[in-house]
Structure 1
Amino acid sequence: MQATVYVLDLYKTGKMEAQDGKSEVMLAVVTEPQFTQHYREYLEKQQLLDRRHRVKQLPDGTIALPVVGETLSEQHLLALRQQGTPENICRLVHIPKPILSKKAQRCSPAQKLCQELQCLVESQGHMWSTELEKDLPRSWQRHGDLLLLSEDSFKDPHWKKLEPGLWKTVASALGGQRLAKRGRVSPGGTRTPKVILMLGDHGWVEHVDNGIRYTFDVTQSMFSFGNITEKLRVASMSCAGEVLVDLYAGIGYFTLPFLIHANAAFVHACEWDPHAAAALKKNLELNGVSDRCSIHLGDNRKLKLRSIANRVNLGLIPTSEEGWPIACQVLRQDTGGILHIHHNVESFPGKDLQLPSSSEAGQKEQIAARNSGRQTPAKVPKLEWRKWAEVVAARIRDLLLQLHGNPWETHILHIQPVKSYAPHVDHIVLDLDCRPLSYSGKGVEKAEKTCNQRPKV
């Protein structure tokens, strides 16, 4: 009986060492080779065998079988001793730097994370549970050596007890060195993400997208992977010689593709978040285009620019409506130009719908299509998109009339889906051609071509 007490004391001592983080250890039952199979069978039957680590032969010839320490009791140790002769070796030890089993080495990052955290929880003397497993992240973003976890993970109060070692374990399991966890995007025009740095000295990262280098601080600015199709479409446009105003530039999601791939002559980038503007400045320098862009920090509704833009990008969701008046103000008064208007539109489930042939906008699109030499699309994905676009076209005409005192014509060039924002809510972009009536028709063909190029990959 004395030997059994000694074994449990070893177990407690080793567990404290693991809490202090002095070494990575594996709890194991040690026995002689001839009793190994009996021990293994008993441990498997009692669900005590730790299959994440390899069985190890010690220098004295004994065999160490990895076990799940939290559920191992004194009764289990007594039962194991009875598997052999009274004088057989049976002790509980901690093996430093254990080797993962082949199966554990082949597991996915999510599986490895689960296994590592289960080991951490049990090494701290706590019970692993299905609730904790469900609280693990199922997806994450990788920005170099920084991993950005989703907001719906690690909500259980129990995780707080395992810090700071918890975040080192998570980063190591997922192959990173720094770790951050995001929350919901704050309301308001800046759309600042609520991101907390869990591990690391800073949140600056670099990301390469379609040959463009973006750097930003994940704790201050957001990077939307969901907008990749629209960035590719922008990159495919031909904007040579054009001046563009990007009313919601952020860190340069669209400013940079317009400059680098679409070859815009100059971009006026408006941004009122100083953190995003600082990242934008770095990104313009990184990509060697800072001489072709001017950053306007502050509320774009107070912008003093007038009649300079061939094209205006309004990349704000759920709506960019507050920017419509200033977009009309910066459009060239003599020739007009194109507005790229982002918006979240509510729609209903169902199949593609036929456009009404009596639609005034539909007839104009058919005429413009014939002039540009392309075939007229018989369908659009959702009728709600067209209805919204027609309302916007009418609103922009009214704004231009109020601003300039002479009538303008607006023409729907294209409606581009970007992504599904929520159930029955679509993020789309309207390409709207806006021309004073004295200039009407002269720029339609060019506008059609520049908005319907094949995206670069």
Structure 2
Amino acid sequence: MEAAEVPIRVPALATEQRFAQRLRRCLQEERLWDRRYQLQRLPAGRVALPVLEEKLSQLCLPPEVPCELVRIQDPVPSRAARRRSPAQRLRDELRELLAAGWSEELERDVPHAWQRHGDLVLLSEDSFKAAPWQKLGPALWETVASALGARRVAKRGRVMPDGMRSPSVTLLLGQHGWVEHVDNGIREECGSLEVPALSHLLPAGIGYFTLPFLVHAGAAFVHACEWNGHAVEALHRSLVLNGVRDRCHIHSGDSRQLQLRDVADRVNLGLIPSSEEGWPVACRVLKKHTGGVLHIHHNVETPPARTAALPAERGPPEAASSAGEARHPAEDGGEGALRTRLRPEWQRWAEATATRIQGCWRSCTGGRGAPASCTSRR
């Protein structure tokens, strides 16, 4: 998923030309100078010197240097910034921060890649693990943000097995973790501490399926169920961003306890590795008299594929079928061809699932038949 590019207005101190060099020396000495951008010339002979956003509260300049805080729109990168890649810039600034303490161990610990979400950079869990980094405190993350042109920094951890797939991500620099994505024309707002989950109605997650149903498929109304409070808030924000909040009702809580009945034409069960516990509820949600469609996601375990036979062992193209009749591959099509391509484990799962869904449906409708046939896709 590509993150939306967010324009950055860089803070700067504006002063008269005759004070520019003195102000620059003060900013460099206090490590407040933002070397990513050039000086900006302003009307009336003044100039603006870029400063680091995260250090504005530390500004303490001599009173004899008159200046005011402004914002530079579309700042011009400095020559040094244009020559170096972001990864090289990060290593150079960290080496300068540590000075004589730099080592090969630290060199290996600096990430070469990261995720960017607007003005937030998300680092991998295997970066900055060495002990010397911990001694730097906030200065480390301020340097990372400065080098990568970000204002906020977070570090990803492993997804915790708590039933809600909560990620152990830590916000290292910044006041909040909300970020906005644009994917396939849909604006999605989520926390950097949230993992976009495959979901829609059981559960809803942050809207991976809910939003496309509403924005692109033109669904008249969607009921979304989610028990992760952070995901509920993210989904609400995204619905508002896309102007579809009035066509969606969010049910907060466990979808297995959902009391909704007889309202849906389609139910999306996007929970993996298995959504089996939600099947009875999904059948109850389908319209009782017309039935509907269940979209079921499921991980089916399969053994390793067998080694292919040698050409001499396979025989000619018109090999005998299991019924003992010769058959050309091109003569078999439709559902029969699909079944020959499916692995036996997949086919057995599809047939068992169809049987269970039929049973759930009859229980919910007082003995009526299954609403539709079961189709399995890889």
Aligned to 1:201: 175
SS at structure 2 position matched to 1:179: strand
SS at structure 2 position matched to 1:250: coil
* Alignment counterpart, residue 342 of structure 1, candidates 281, 289, 297: 297
SS at structure 1 position matched to 2:352: helix
How many angstroms apart in 1 are the aligned matches of 2:345 and 2:148?
42
* Alignment counterpart, residue 262 of structure 2, candidates 307, 310, 328: 307
SS at structure 2 position matched to 1:412: coil
Listed one character per residue, the Cα deviations across residues 6-40 of structure 1 (whole Å, up to 9, x for unaligned) are xxxxxxxxxxxxxx972389xxxxxxxxxxxxxxx
How far off its partner does 1:369 sit?
Answer: 5.5
Aligned to 1:413: 375
- Please state if 1:22 is matched with 2:30: yes
Distance 1:171 1:352, change over 3 A: farther
* Alignment counterpart, residue 388 of structure 1, candidates 349, 353, 356: 349
- Residue type at the aligned position of 1:411: S
The answer on whether the counterparts of 1:329 and 1:403 sit within 8 Å (CA) in structure 2 is yes
* Alignment counterpart, residue 92 of structure 2, candidates 115, 134, 143: 115
* Alignment counterpart, residue 101 of structure 2, candidates 108, 120, 126: 126
The answer on whether the counterparts of 2:292 and 2:372 sit within 8 Å (CA) in structure 1 is no
How far off its partner does 1:175 sit?
Answer: 2.3
In the TM superposition, what are the counterparts of 1:202-217 in structure 2 within 5 Å? 202-217=176-191
Distance 1:188 1:394, change over 3 A: farther
Where does the alignment leave 5 or more consecutive residues of structure 1 unmatched? 1-19, 26-98, 232-244, 359-366, 417-457
The answer on whether the counterparts of 1:309 and 1:330 sit within 8 Å (CA) in structure 2 is yes
How many angstroms apart in 2 are the aligned matches of 1:139 and 1:381?
38
The answer on whether the counterparts of 2:268 and 2:295 sit within 8 Å (CA) in structure 1 is yes
SS at structure 1 position matched to 2:287: coil
The answer on whether the counterparts of 2:114 and 2:124 sit within 8 Å (CA) in structure 1 is yes
SS at structure 2 position matched to 1:142: strand
Distance 1:211 1:399, change over 3 A: same
Listed one character per residue, the Cα deviations across residues 351-399 of structure 1 (whole Å, up to 9, x for unaligned) are 899xx989xxxxxxxx9968xxxx9657647554333333322222222
How many angstroms apart in 2 are the aligned matches of 1:218 and 1:323?
28
Distance 1:23 1:139, change over 3 A: closer
How far off its partner does 1:202 sit?
Answer: 1.0
How many angstroms apart in 1 are the aligned matches of 2:297 and 2:236?
24
The answer on whether the counterparts of 1:197 and 1:203 sit within 8 Å (CA) in structure 2 is yes
Listed one character per residue, the Cα deviations across residues 297-321 of structure 1 (whole Å, up to 9, x for unaligned) are 1111111111211110111122212
In the TM superposition, what are the counterparts of 1:320-359 in structure 2 within 5 Å? 320-350=275-305
Q: CA RMSD in A?
A: 3.4
In the TM superposition, what are the counterparts of 1:191-340 in structure 2 within 5 Å? 191-219=165-193, 221-223=194-196, 246-340=201-295
Aligned to 1:152: 126
SS at structure 2 position matched to 1:207: strand
How far off its partner does 1:153 sit?
Answer: 1.6
Listed one character per residue, the Cα deviations across residues 78-106 of structure 1 (whole Å, up to 9, x for unaligned) are xxxxxxxxxxxxxxxxxxxxx9997x854
The answer on whether the counterparts of 1:397 and 1:410 sit within 8 Å (CA) in structure 2 is no
Distance 1:376 1:183, change over 3 A: same
Listed one character per residue, the Cα deviations across residues 23-71 of structure 1 (whole Å, up to 9, x for unaligned) are 389xxxxxxxxxxxxxxxxxxxxxxxxxxxxxxxxxxxxxxxxxxxxxx
Deviation larger for 201-210 or 148-157: 148-157
How far off its partner does 1:286 sit?
Answer: 1.0
- Residue type at the aligned position of 2:374: I
- Residue type at the aligned position of 2:182: V
How far off its partner does 1:165 sit?
Answer: 1.1
The answer on whether the counterparts of 1:394 and 1:410 sit within 8 Å (CA) in structure 2 is no
The answer on whether the counterparts of 2:350 and 2:376 sit within 8 Å (CA) in structure 1 is no
Find the structure with the greater CA-based Rg. 1
The answer on whether the counterparts of 1:272 and 1:300 sit within 8 Å (CA) in structure 2 is yes
How many angstroms apart in 1 are the aligned matches of 2:103 and 2:115?
26
Identity of aligned residues (%): 54
Distance 1:288 1:379, change over 3 A: farther
How many angstroms apart in 2 are the aligned matches of 1:263 and 1:118?
53
Aligned to 1:402: 363
SS at structure 2 position matched to 1:343: coil
Aligned to 1:441: none
TM-score by length of 1: 0.56
- Residue type at the aligned position of 2:354: A
SS at structure 2 position matched to 1:346: coil
Aligned to 2:151: 177
* Alignment counterpart, residue 187 of structure 1, candidates 144, 154, 161: 161
Distance 1:389 1:108, change over 3 A: farther
How far off its partner does 1:160 sit?
Answer: 0.4
TM-score by length of 2: 0.67
Distance 1:101 1:408, change over 3 A: closer
Number of corresponding residues:
287
How many angstroms apart in 2 are the aligned matches of 1:22 and 1:413?
67
Where does the alignment leave 5 or more consecutive residues of structure 2 unmatched? 1-27, 34-76, 309-320, 324-331
Distance 1:409 1:298, change over 3 A: closer
How many angstroms apart in 2 are the aligned matches of 1:402 and 1:357?
38
Distance 1:291 1:101, change over 3 A: closer
Aligned to 2:39: none
* More strand per residue: 1
